[in-house]
Structure 1
């Protein structure tokens, strides 16, 4: 079932609420607007980077790039410029590369109005979905992440534990368990005062893929978001998850690319 909002209108709302109006995700995060840039500064295990830019000229963009490089270099931490395909100037990605940033894989920004989604996915037989509330649950989320994506999850473990203990109203994490074995995990980031909840980190261990675990985790989080007063969802979708999200009713809005600077 398609969203009832046009993609352009959803994208405009997303930019205004989640990028220009970005909020700190943890107790030690700082979000600030510096000129035509909104950036987030966090501890070493957190996410540091630019979430929005609104340049009116190439010269303005180049000056801001230089300023952000100086900011991250002074802190000695990797810094990500999260670039969206509709950001200006049109060659901003090329300018970032020329300044020393390295682009990562593209992802597709998708969004939906919750009440327009086809939330009919049932939990597979033998699987239950439970909220994560303690360190044991966080460790299980990290275990699933490492098995599903092949990444080290030490930073994720620290970030999630910090959020659950310091700002529990900004994050939800869930586990899919087959018996007592974690087979899927996902989280949802919440920004009070906005209409969007963000879906992140949805992953299923290899032997359980194709059985509906990922869809069940989307449904579970969507219903939790609606119960907390959120009306829309957004997700940075990989090529693997994009077809599933499309079938559920998510709309493709734009492409996003992470550009990372490592001082």
Structure 2
């Protein structure tokens, strides 16, 4: 599948038709909204705009979410139209986050990830205590609260356990030193990868690769054939060596405070 076809498939399955756990999907001819039922921000997963209507729709969405008393994220991709949509959002007060590479890989029989050995230190997380340990790791690395993320992961493990898989690598003292999770999007071809944070002293030891491999193997077992991840500059080279292709760049655009 060529790049343009893959972008079309990604848009359809991961941005337009998808219903995310813990959200209410709202759609019209201009945007797809995902309204959070919890503490996390709601977001716009997809937009179809022209240059002549973009500013009016942006203001409409600002007014709509203000009426809900909610801040939201406009998840923007660099192939979205109009081409200057990011500039238009910024002009309306949106905070534009750092770019991440949209990476996608197709799994086929015989792919090296499917036969890769998994480090013994990598184990599944299935309870709240494990999630708390993973959030402690995330907070120690990124120096910011991950409370809302922790609540969502706990909720999804309890209510949609067939759609979420979490793994972590432990040191000899039982401390989590690397961790990642995967959502398996029922009704689509995709699993999405998240996390992958590793403590500095444990980088370069194969843990990140092991977390990629175990998720790929689980995705394959469950019939999913496409993997996607928003990659940081540090992660992108590793993912490319494993066979991921960059389709473009995505930007988290946070609306002004309500």
TM-fit CA distance, 1:50? 0.6
Partner of 1:111: 104
Partner of 1:200: 194
Does structure 1 residue 152 correspond to structure 2 residue 128?
Answer: no
Aligned to 2:7, which of 8, 11, 23? 11
TM-fit CA distance, 1:51? 0.5
TM-score, L = length of structure 1: 0.91
DSSP-derived class of the 1:221 partner:
helix
Aligned to 2:39, which of 36, 39, 45? 45
Partner of 1:183: 177
Partner of 2:251: 257
Q: Tell me the number of residue pairs that the alignment of Structure 1 and Structure 2 aligns.
A: 254
Return 5+ residue gaps in structure 2 as ranges: none
Give distance in 2, aligned partners of 1:170 and 1:70.
Answer: 33
Partner of 1:230: 224
Aligned to 1:93, which of 86, 94, 103? 86
Q: Is the 8 A contact 1:149 1:203 kept in 2?
A: no
Q: Deviations over 1:141-200 (max 9, x none)?
A: 111211233221111110101111122222111111123121111111121010010001
Q: Deviations over 1:102-146 (max 9, x none)?
A: 10000000000122753165444xx42211111111111111211
Q: Is the 8 A contact 2:101 2:250 kept in 1?
A: yes
Return 5+ residue gaps in structure 1 as ranges: none
TM-fit CA distance, 1:44? 4.8
Q: Is the 8 A contact 1:40 1:47 kept in 2?
A: no
Aligned to 2:156, which of 152, 156, 163? 163
Give distance in 1, aligned partners of 2:112 and 2:241.
Answer: 8
